[in-house]
Amino acid sequence: MMPMAILPTTSARTAFDGQPGVVDTRGRALRDLRISVTDRCNFRCTYCMPKEVFGRDYAFLPREELLAFEEIHRLAAVFVGLGVQKLRITGGEPLVRRDLPRLIERLATIRRPDGGDIDLTLTTNGAALRSLARPLRDAGLGRITISLDSLDDAVFRAMNGVDFPVERVLDGIAAAREAGLDPIKINVVAKRGMNEESIVPMARWARDDGLILRFIEYMDVGHTNGWRLDEVVPAAEIVERITAEWPLEAAEPGYRGEVAGRWRYVDGRGEIGVISSVTQPFCGDCTRARLSAEGTLYTCLFGAQGHPLRDLVRSNPDDESLRTEIERIWTVRDDRYSELRSNASSDLPRIEMFAIGG
């Protein structure tokens, strides 16, 4: 299949990174699209889909309500035409979506308006990577991020909620490496009382294995995880714990709008990232949009009200109509939930994380 070239939007503006694209009310460009391909997951992580809420009888979306691969591809191409440079496939757990490599193959054909490649990546819990890493790489997946909250088997089983052994995820990481999906990023959600003692062992393992480690402050996404502020392990504490073992120094962000604060080891053996949405909000540089599995566009991870696009796609308007609607949504965007939450506790309604891909 020949690469799909995308025409730039006719009303593109120069954004804060000096490149053309659609810009919101705070001058933030649309650069990153998170695409959820399913709301289902084979884990029941305590911070996302606690098993007490999402039990055996929980009603997930019926298949006919999910966007088809052709519809996802079409929307992704329009977003790229509006300035998106990175497509990240998420869930739920994306690897439970049947025939996922076929979608990756389609998305890999999309080209930016300047003819450049998009950054095509995927976030997974790693449970099915042994069988899928190679097909995904062969289909055109560029990078992969794997969620792993502890190397301690008992802690990991407790956090994933389904008694899944850590060895299976480690084998999935090995499979990703064998398939050539390097560099590999590892995400760790740090939650007080569960895995804060895993922070240093995780850092040691990542240093020794040449993996990029990113810690994420436990966030109040949705309403079902029972979030409390005293369960957040602050970014400053995470850095302090690690630097007590191996000194760290602050590193410059790789690009404007990068989510993780970067810290490199003084001895030159790699770096870590810390995503500090709770204690150090980064709303001012947020360039991310999220497309849910049923085709609803959210302009904030903590959003409650989305913008349905599925019916618009299925009514088969031309791509210019889709482009106009997405541009309209982004240009009036004013989201800054984390900044508001940091100033005062907020009880604003929020969509669940598994529904929009984290």
Give the span between the Cα atoms of 14 and 28, in whole angstroms. Answer: 10
185-244 pLDDT per residue, tens = 999 999 999 999 999 999 999 999 999 999 999 876 554 555 677 789 999 999 999 999
Q: Tell me what the pLDDT averaged over the chain comes to.
A: 87
At 10 the pLDDT is 40
3-class secondary structure, 138: helix
54-107 pLDDT per residue, tens = 888 898 999 999 999 999 999 999 999 999 999 999 999 999 999 999 999 999
Region 155-171: mean pLDDT is 97
| Residue 343 confidence class, pLDDT cut points 50, 70, 90 | very low
| Residue 2 confidence class, pLDDT cut points 50, 70, 90 | very low
Neighbours of 228 (CB within 10 A): 11
Q: Which tokens sit at 13?
A: 């503006």
Cβ contacts of 190 within 8 Å, gap of 6 or more: 196, 199, 215, 216, 217, 218, 233, 238
**DSSP-assigned states of every residue in 316-355:** ---HHHHHHHHHHHHHT----HHHHHHHS--------HHH
Phi, psi of 123 (to 5 degrees): -115, 130
Q: Residue 336, exposed/middle/buried by CB under 10 A (0-12, 13-18, 19+)?
A: middle
244-260 pLDDT per residue, tens = 999 999 998 877 767 78
Q: Given a cut of 60, is residue 149 above it in pLDDT?
A: yes
Q: Residue 280, exposed/middle/buried by CB under 10 A (0-12, 13-18, 19+)?
A: middle
Q: Given a cut of 50, is residue 345 above it in pLDDT?
A: no
Q: What is the pTM of this model?
A: 0.88
Region 102-124: mean pLDDT is 96
The most confident of the ranges 9-13, 45-49, 187-191 is 187-191
Phi, psi of 137 (to 5 degrees): -65, -45
- List the domains of the chain with CATH numbers: 4-356 (3.20.20.70)
Q: Given a cut of 70, is residue 14 above it in pLDDT?
A: no
- Residue pair 142/107 in contact by the 8 Å Cβ criterion: no
Q: Given a cut of 50, is residue 128 above it in pLDDT?
A: yes
Cβ contacts of 300 within 8 Å, gap of 6 or more: 286, 335, 337
The most confident of the ranges 42-51, 115-124, 295-304 is 115-124
| Residue 285 confidence class, pLDDT cut points 50, 70, 90 | confident
